Chains A and B, each alone.
Chain A
């Protein structure tokens, strides 16, 4: 019983995710996508990277590999599933969460620290925080702009599915604090169940004390 970190060709945050989880005392193992998901995993991480070289669209091809059927099945059984960065793109492309992540407003790859406001504290991913808390975590992506149509955006607000919004250091949600032009500053959302979530920012890169802020630990503690 362990957290499965799914590795695709081109994943590059897979080992970081394992190291971060193990730092928190959570068992984690790398799983090659073609081997399928182990039975009864404690959780699933779709890690960051450039699966399939971002061919077609970031995450599009990985989202249609057979292991995603296993992941969807596990998600439907209530197993916690987290997609980070490229994993978030895979999650959106596979329908685990609504919307799409596409080319940044800047049309550039952006690698920087951002502030996120915790919009809900009643999910496994945010139970370690209080609603309204501001955390600092890194982003590293060229296609992180969250897009949904108006009707869907309205439903996301009604159903309270937004986990994190990009914000200023003091928690104010502004256009200027939105690094990639995401609709409503969305940085992370939950799927049909609160146990399924994706975030473009990298909580696993803000977990080990040796590499900077550790504000991301709370997200990964969902697997504890």
Chain B
């Protein structure tokens, strides 16, 4: 098994109104910034162990399908990358504690 971090980015489908993003854009413009438009998205970082990149991506995709995204209003994107073994950082943290 390999340790992965899967990143699931959930964004509104094009054409779905995003009132929070519009409010944020207006606030940026009030601060004097020039911008064309602004979109917001939710990002979930999921640490998991899997047999392969594909298996990690499949599981994260299933999470998006079942819960993280609502297909009526959202699109989502999944990327995976290997992460360093957790035990090393845990030991470091313990060392600091003593």
Residues of A with Cβ closer than 8 Å to B?
A: 56-57, 60-61, 64, 92-93, 99-100, 102-107, 145, 147-149, 181
Task: Assess whether B93 is interfacial by the CB under 8 Å rule.
Answer: no
A147 and B73 within 8 A (CB): yes
How does the 8 Å CB contact mask read for B58-74 relative to A, with 1 for contact and 0 for none?
00000000111010110
State the main secondary structure of chain A at its contact with B.
loop
Question: Which residues of chain B are near A106, meaning CB under 8 Å?
Answer: 19
Residues of B with Cβ closer than 8 Å to A?
A: 16-20, 22-23, 66-68, 70, 72-73
The contact of A102 among B22, B23, B73, by CB within 8 Å, is B73
Once bound together, how far apart are the Cα atoms of A92 and B66, in whole Å? 14
- Taking the closest CB of chain A, its distance from the CB of B54, in whole angstroms, is 25
Given contacts A107-B20, A145-B17, A181-B17, 4 further A-B contacts (CB under 8 A): A103-B18, A103-B20, A105-B17, A105-B19
The contact of B67 among A64, A103, A147, by CB within 8 Å, is A64
A60 and B20 within 8 A (CB): no
The contact sample of 9 A-B pairs, CB cut-off 8 A, is A56-B68, A60-B70, A99-B72, A102-B16, A102-B73, A104-B19, A105-B19, A147-B72, A148-B72
- Taking the closest CB of chain B, its distance from the CB of A144, in whole angstroms, is 12
On whether A100 and B17 interact (CB within 8 A), knowing A107-B22, A107-B23, the answer reads no
Name the CB-closest residue of B to A145.
B17
Name the CB-closest residue of A to B22.
A107
A100 and B67 within 8 A (CB): no
- The list of the 3 closest CB pairs from A to B, nearest first, reads A107-B19, A100-B72, A107-B23
A149 and B17 within 8 A (CB): no
Question: Which residues of chain A are near B67, meaning CB under 8 Å?
Answer: 56, 60-61, 64
On whether A147 and B16 interact (CB within 8 A), knowing A56-B67, A99-B72, the answer reads yes
Question: Which residues of chain A are near B17, meaning CB under 8 Å?
Answer: 105, 145, 181
- Taking the closest CB of chain A, its distance from the CB of B42, in whole angstroms, is 8
The contact of A64 among B16, B18, B66, B72, by CB within 8 Å, is B66
